[in-house]
Structure 1
Amino acid sequence: MPILTELNLYPVKSCAGISLREATLTAAGLMSEHIYDREWMVVDAQGNYMTQRDFPRMALIAPRIKADTLELRAPGMLRLEVPLGLPDPEDEKTLAVRIWDEELKAYDCDEVTATWFSKFLGVPCRLVRFHAEAKRLANPKWTEGVEAPTLFSDGYPMLVISQASLDDLNGKLQAQGRPALPMNRFRPNIVIGGVEAFEEDYAASFNIGNAVLKPVKPCPRCPMPAIDQATGEVGPDPLDILQTYRVNPKVDGGIAFGMNTILLQGEGQLLKVGQDIELTLAF
């Protein structure tokens, strides 16, 4: 029987995640204590989004949700407390930011926060928060016209991977004398156990309680799985193995691992690790 084995929230895009025992489902992705997945993002001096692809040390920035702040820690840095309350509309400072080819309005965090990130990452940068008036939708080509909102994710509200898929990859790596990789290299929101390797690729839906999640697009992988999430160091890259059997013509020959997923039904439902999942295949 398929089972929910992991829930992961990433409050700040491309920074470390938070492993959860339970999380709330929303159309825009997972939420915990009113904090959404990828609600914050680091941008450069021109407002362009920054990720581990170019700044692998971002993996070392670890968030923790407290009562009224988002606490951030990083090696060699004093902890940073980012207020969770939204600014008063009359006093808010905003910034035009860019993620991929989209420009959005975002809340601009304060100078203390900007200095903290700039010092740790070694370049001028700022932390921004998704604005209440901003709107960003997943590509309707893949969602079949369903309006699926997302915040600062790469493009879809949730990423689902099965444990068996990672086990399959690790078996191939170990056969070459290479170490197994942890799941956090691939940064999923939801991990499923009790299915065959890559069975998520062929799912029409994941039914969890009264919720219906629909996988819509294979996730083409960038070089980020080469980054050790515990050290921020690069290498070795598993893509050389994945490219031998995970090239997917549906995403223009990209190396696919995991399924981008949207919510069709179940807004506000609480997910818990250990819940049963009904996986419906698309054939």
Structure 2
Amino acid sequence: MKITLSGLYIYPIKSLGGISLSGSKVHQSGLQHDRQWMLVDAQGTFMSQRSLPHMALLQVSLSEDGLYLTHKLQKGSGLHIPFSADTGRLLEVRIWDDSVDALEVDPAADEWFSDMLHTSCKLVKMSSSHKRWLKKKYQVNQEHVGFADSMPFLIIGQSSLDDLNKRLDTPVPMDRFRPNMVFTGGPAYVEDGWDRFFLGSVPFKITKPCARCVMTTVDQQRGTKNREPLYTLSRYRKLGKKVLFGQNGIALDEGYITCGDAILPV
């Protein structure tokens, strides 16, 4: 059965709205621009929709020279952040168990985000000279990652979501799971059995299943929480204490992928 890339997504600023793409460069650290920026609190700890679900209301789009931010429910609230913007100052930030030096971006951006989220925060971006390395057990070629939770890539089959939605009273869209790559073809959860695959001409390796959390319960258009789909997933996709949906992976080479490319498990 033919398996085809049907969706491609990036989330330039961690935990804010995602962007649908027709094609993207593949880097070792993830798709181009994916989770290269992040909001941190006064202690330098990353912020996310887990505790601030209304972060979903901040939408990111790409311009030729940077990012453009808007609030989904507020008109005239835009902010432009050039790709080149940073103060040159490094700040030690924490994301889960990792500490990394990141660049402070712009005090004006900090003020905008603090106003929009009604809490003090600072925008930082990855520094090219300060890598966030994957745990050695997942490395093949000394891979590193941006501000994603743990892995550079997340892939989910459309059939897997379709199977979940048959179990829900109210279906949920794929954006609840914030994948990078979505494919059509194959049975539900076929990705669970993959080890390596080619997407177009780019080789990837699956590293581990993706453990899901309360972020899946955040409506990405409203910034509100419910108990689904995590409650239903926990009834049939639980292994130990983890609820699994989708597969994390790394790219074994760089390249360019586009929607419509064939996926070939090997």
Checking the alignment, whether the CA contact within 8 Å between 1:9 and 1:17 is kept in structure 2 is yes
Secondary structure at 2:109's aligned position in 1?
helix
> How far apart are the structure 2 equivalents of 1:83 and 1:275?
31
- State the Cα distance separating 1:275 from its structure 2 match: 1.1
Q: For residue 38 of structure 2, what is the aligned residue in structure 1?
A: 41
Correspondence for 2:56 among 59, 68, 72:
59
Checking the alignment, whether the CA contact within 8 Å between 1:113 and 1:127 is kept in structure 2 is yes
Q: For residue 165 of structure 2, what is the aligned residue in structure 1?
A: 170
- State the Cα distance separating 1:206 from its structure 2 match: 1.8
1:134 maps to 2:141? no
Secondary structure at 1:79's aligned position in 2?
strand
Q: For residue 5 of structure 1, what is the aligned residue in structure 2?
A: 6
- State the Cα distance separating 1:86 from its structure 2 match: 5.1
Secondary structure at 2:203's aligned position in 1?
strand
- State the Cα distance separating 1:112 from its structure 2 match: 1.1
- State the Cα distance separating 1:144 from its structure 2 match: 5.6
> How far apart are the structure 2 equivalents of 1:254 and 1:140?
22
> How far apart are the structure 2 equivalents of 1:209 and 1:160?
14
1:272 maps to 2:250? no
Secondary structure at 1:78's aligned position in 2?
strand
Checking the alignment, whether the CA contact within 8 Å between 1:206 and 1:212 is kept in structure 2 is yes
> How far apart are the structure 2 equivalents of 1:93 and 1:204?
40
Q: For residue 97 of structure 2, what is the aligned residue in structure 1?
A: 101
1:260 maps to 2:255? no
- State the Cα distance separating 1:146 from its structure 2 match: 4.2
Identity of aligned residues (%): 38
Checking the alignment, whether the CA contact within 8 Å between 1:4 and 1:193 is kept in structure 2 is yes
Distance 1:167 1:98, change over 3 A: same
Output the amino acid matched with 1:7: L
Unaligned segments of structure 2, at least 5 residues: none
- State the Cα distance separating 1:237 from its structure 2 match: 1.9
Give the TM-score taking structure 1 as reference length: 0.89
- State the Cα distance separating 1:125 from its structure 2 match: 0.4
Checking the alignment, whether the CA contact within 8 Å between 1:140 and 1:146 is kept in structure 2 is no
1:78 maps to 2:74? no
- State the Cα distance separating 1:205 from its structure 2 match: 1.5
List per-residue Cα deviations over 1:38-91 (Å, max 9, x = no partner).
Answer: 00000001111000001111111111111222111113362001111154xxx6
1:198 maps to 2:197? no
Q: List, as ranges, runs of 4+ consecutive aligned residues in structure 1 with deviation greater than 3 Å.
A: none
Secondary structure at 1:38's aligned position in 2?
coil
> How far apart are the structure 2 equivalents of 1:205 and 1:228?
32
1:151 maps to 2:137? no
